[in-house]
Amino acid sequence: MVDITTDVLIIGTGPAGSSSAALLSSYGIENVVINRYRWLANTPRAHITNQRTMEVLRDLGHEVEQEAYLFATEQELMGENVFCESLAGEEIGRMKSWGTHPLSKAEHLMSSPTFMNDLPQTFMEPLLFKTACKRGSNARMNTEYLRHVQDSDGVTTTCLDRMTGKEITIRSKYLIGADGGNSLVAEHEDLPIAGKMGVGGSMNILFKADLSKYVAHRPSVLYWVMQPGADVGGIGMGLVRMIRPWNEWLIVWGYDINEPAPVVDQQMVTDVARQLVGDPGLEIELLSANTWTVNDAYAEQLSKGRVFIMGDAAHRHPPSNGLGSNTSIQDAFNLCWKLASVLKGQAGQALLESYNTERAPIAKQIVTRANQSIGEFGPIFEALGMTGGSDIDNIKANMDARCGTDPQAEAQRAALNAAIAFKKYEFDAHGIEMNQRYASDAIVTDEQVEPAFAKDEVLHYQPTTWPGARIPHAWVFDAIGGKHSTLDLVGGGKFTLLTGLGGEAWCEAAKAVGDALGIEIVCHVIGPRQTYVDHTGDWARTREIGDAGCVFVRPDQHVCWRSDALSVDPKADLKRVMISILAL
Ligand code: FDA
């Protein structure tokens, strides 16, 4: 007997599940989202929120984006990434991070209408979840996923109602497993997972203490503490992480995964906090403490039939580079418009296969990147002479040696500077956040060659309208002086065509093809005396097509086709492209 029927059942209310629910409800798709617990994230795990994620929030609505900024710590307070013996002890080095270096800041400003910020998961989840529920999602807490079976028409899922102890059955057309790093949905579908779980051990200690006197003059999200044992297990180094400036903190300290997990009690966490802060008399108000393991695993296949996995269910990795929650939300942005199109009868089922084709390579990429970043702390320890065991006197002597005037000391300082600067691959890797390009049947390149990256693609975002890439950002202006990003002109669950003067026939084609397929295709002509004017010429310089050409953009803001100039038969071209993308 079926107790509940819906179009999409989502397991999990984390960043992946809550954003899926919010997006599906925004697109008018009925969905049920469940969580086995009574409420959302109870610790502020994810925090670094990158520009691409903020673009998803902006697409969900101005009020969603603004509320995120309201609760976030702003970018300016994120950037003085400090390496030190302890917060009170000697500072060993520093690097500008998270888009606060003047050169990086310029790249951030030119890339997106949004700002990177620090939004703890304890704020992000309620924002997404609230948006979902307000717009129509049916949320069911204390409801635990147990198992599912899929057939050719849908999925039947059995859950445990933890309040009554009774099993309930939910019938949906599709199932999303956003159930985190120990995903049962992935396991039950037998989706192949490459890599290893549990490659390192870490403990989180969440506490309140006013540490302003150690940090306010060098504002940062992360203070890296180099003490003997800091490179054991965990995320590569001891970490004091700001949750709220400057009186709420999370310490991350590693332990050897081959030993039993340490007993994390009040005395132990107070000792660790005092040691990393460097204040033997520090009093902390402990909020929570727990251990967790570092993973290095990704799903090689993100879907099977009517079942999809996303977020940590699909990519399991340490927090390095801050990519976890960001990628989870971006997975949802990729999948949800496709589900909506199929459920509305506007697309064929085959469109859904492109979720796997497009997102599986990203899962692998970010897991690899995050784990590589752990290893890249090594040269800092080496430069300081901290790799030769735990003999404190020896370590101290090696660290003192860098203060000398001899050539070895100079070489040691140079090695340390280089090792710290190299950490930009973790702390300022704008490219990995923004350069995602897709290749699948839901993109029509017409054999246009992908542009090569002119700079390091991990560090630098490179705008392009090559089909597969996210549409580049440029400001355009309306008649009363308001400025709009090109990203604001697209998205919102719709396909959009951007053209310029002489390309009006594209808009006629968009109307005709849209009417024939029963889909709204938005069209904007950008040019003088049009609704949007490119006063600065930034869009003309970025768009890589002529005035009368067009850039055709999917609901997830990725370009799916473009034409250099007005074609002989715009209607026929657009129809061909839509039929191909939507698998009709
Ligand atoms: P998540 O684990 O958040 O959610 C899973 C959901 O499924 C939960 O609601 C859970 O209750 C539910 N669930 C599980 N099993 C269920 C079942 N059987 N039945 C019903 N419900 C079930 N990321 C980032 O982008 N930036 C950052 O700065 C950081 N920093 C960071 C620091 C630390 C210390 C950690 C540990 C992690 C990070 N992360 C991060 C990673 C980030 O926290 C992580 O990637 C996201 O929470 C993943 O979101 P998901 O929604 O996929 O899973």
- What confidence tens digit (pLDDT) does each residue in 288-343 have? 999 888 999 999 999 999 999 999 999 999 999 999 999 999 999 999 999 999 99
CA atoms within 13 A on the CB side of 370: 28
* Torsions phi, psi for 39 (to 5 deg): -145, -175
| Tokens, residue 69 | 């900024």
| Ligand 1 and 12: CB distance under 6 A | yes
Ligand 1 midpoint to CA 107 (Å): 29
Ligand 1 midpoint to CA 15 (Å): 7
Q: DSSP labels for 170-215?
A: EEEEEEEE---TT-HHHHHTT--EEEEEEEEEEEEEEEE---HHHH
Domain 4-74+117-194+296-370 has CATH 3.40.50.970: no
Shortest-distance Cα residue to atom 12 of ligand 1: 12
* Torsions phi, psi for 532 (to 5 deg): -120, 130
pTM: 0.97
Q: What is the DSSP secondary structure assignment for residue 484, as one 8-state letter?
A: E
120 touches 46 (CB < 8 A)? yes
* Torsions phi, psi for 211 (to 5 deg): -110, 20
pLDDT for the residue numbered 72: 98
C-alpha–C-alpha distance, residues 363 and 296, integer Å: 11
Q: Where are the domains of the chain?
A: 4-74+117-194+296-370, 378-422, 440-581
- What confidence tens digit (pLDDT) does each residue in 429-459 have? 999 999 999 999 999 999 999 999 999 999 9
Shortest-distance Cα residue to atom 47 of ligand 1: 325
C-alpha–C-alpha distance, residues 221 and 44, integer Å: 13
Task: Find the mean pLDDT for residues 37-60.
Answer: 97
CA atoms within 13 A on the CB side of 298: 21
Please report which helix (H) or strand (E) contains residue 497, including its range.
strand 495-500
Contact residues for 122 (Cβ-Cβ < 8 A; gap 6+): 40, 41, 42, 43, 44
pLDDT for the residue numbered 429: 98
CA dihedral 361, 365, 367, 373 (to 10 degrees): 180
| Ligand 1 and 433: CB distance under 6 A | no
| Tokens, residue 312 | 């940590």
| Ligand 1 and 50: CB distance under 6 A | no
Question: The complex's ipTM?
Answer: 0.96
437 touches 560 (CB < 8 A)? no
Shortest-distance Cα residue to atom 43 of ligand 1: 46
Ligand 1 midpoint to CA 140 (Å): 18
C-alpha–C-alpha distance, residues 314 and 312, integer Å: 5
Third-level CATH fold of 440-581: Glutaredoxin (3.40.30)
| Ligand 1 and 178: CB distance under 6 A | yes
| Ligand 1 and 37: CB distance under 6 A | yes
Percent of all residues in the chain with a pLDDT value above 90, rounded to a whole number: 91
Contact residues for 386 (Cβ-Cβ < 8 A; gap 6+): 226, 228, 231, 395, 398, 399
Closest residue by Cα to residue 424 from 471, 474, 482, 373: 373
CB environment 103-126: b (16+ within 10 A), e (fewer): ebbebbeebbbbbbbbbbbbbbbb
pLDDT for the residue numbered 234: 79
- Residue 552's pLDDT band, with cuts at 50, 70 and 90, is very high
The bridge status of strand 248-255 relative to strand 193-208 is antiparallel
Tell the residue number behind the tokens 């473009």, with chain if given. Answer: 562
pLDDT at 47 over 80: yes
- In a mutational test of the pocket of ligand 1, which residue from 45, 81, 140, 329 has the highest number of ligand atoms less than 8 Å from its CB? 45
The residue type found at 91 is E
pLDDT at 259 over 90: no
Shortest-distance Cα residue to atom 29 of ligand 1: 46
| Ligand 1 and 49: CB distance under 6 A | no
Ligand 1 nearest-atom number relative to CA 40: 9
- What confidence tens digit (pLDDT) does each residue in 189-208 have? 999 999 999 998 899 999 99
| Ligand 1 and 17: CB distance under 6 A | yes
C-alpha–C-alpha distance, residues 517 and 500, integer Å: 24
Ligand 1 midpoint to CA 180 (Å): 5
- What confidence tens digit (pLDDT) does each residue in 386-410 have? 886 778 888 889 889 999 999 999 9
Ligand 1 midpoint to CA 363 (Å): 15
pLDDT for the residue numbered 68: 98
| Ligand 1 and 254: CB distance under 6 A | no
C-alpha–C-alpha distance, residues 281 and 289, integer Å: 20
- Residue 481's pLDDT band, with cuts at 50, 70 and 90, is confident
Contact residues for 265 (Cβ-Cβ < 8 A; gap 6+): none
pLDDT at 258 over 90: no
- What confidence tens digit (pLDDT) does each residue in 210-253 have? 999 999 999 999 999 988 777 777 777 899 999 999 999 999 98
CB environment 22-39: b (16+ within 10 A), e (fewer): bbbbbbebbbbbbbbeee
End-to-end CA distance of the chain: 34
* CA-based R_g, the chain, Å: 25
pLDDT for the residue numbered 229: 74
| Ligand 1 and 555: CB distance under 6 A | no
Ligand 1 midpoint to CA 357 (Å): 23
Ligand 1 midpoint to CA 303 (Å): 19
Mean pLDDT of the chain: 96
Ligand 1 nearest-atom number relative to CA 313: 52
Closest residue by Cα to residue 559 from 436, 433, 432: 436
- Sequence-distant contacts of 64-69: CB under 8 A, at least 24 apart: 64/22, 64/127, 64/131, 65/114, 67/127, 68/117, 68/119, 68/123, 68/124, 68/127, 69/115, 69/117
| Ligand 1 and 36: CB distance under 6 A | yes
C-alpha–C-alpha distance, residues 186 and 159, integer Å: 16
| Ligand 1 and 48: CB distance under 6 A | yes
CB environment 411-449: b (16+ within 10 A), e (fewer): ebbebbeebbeebbbbbbbbbbbbbbbbebebbbeeebe
| Ligand 1 and 324: CB distance under 6 A | yes
Cis peptide bond prior to 246, omega within 30° of 0: yes
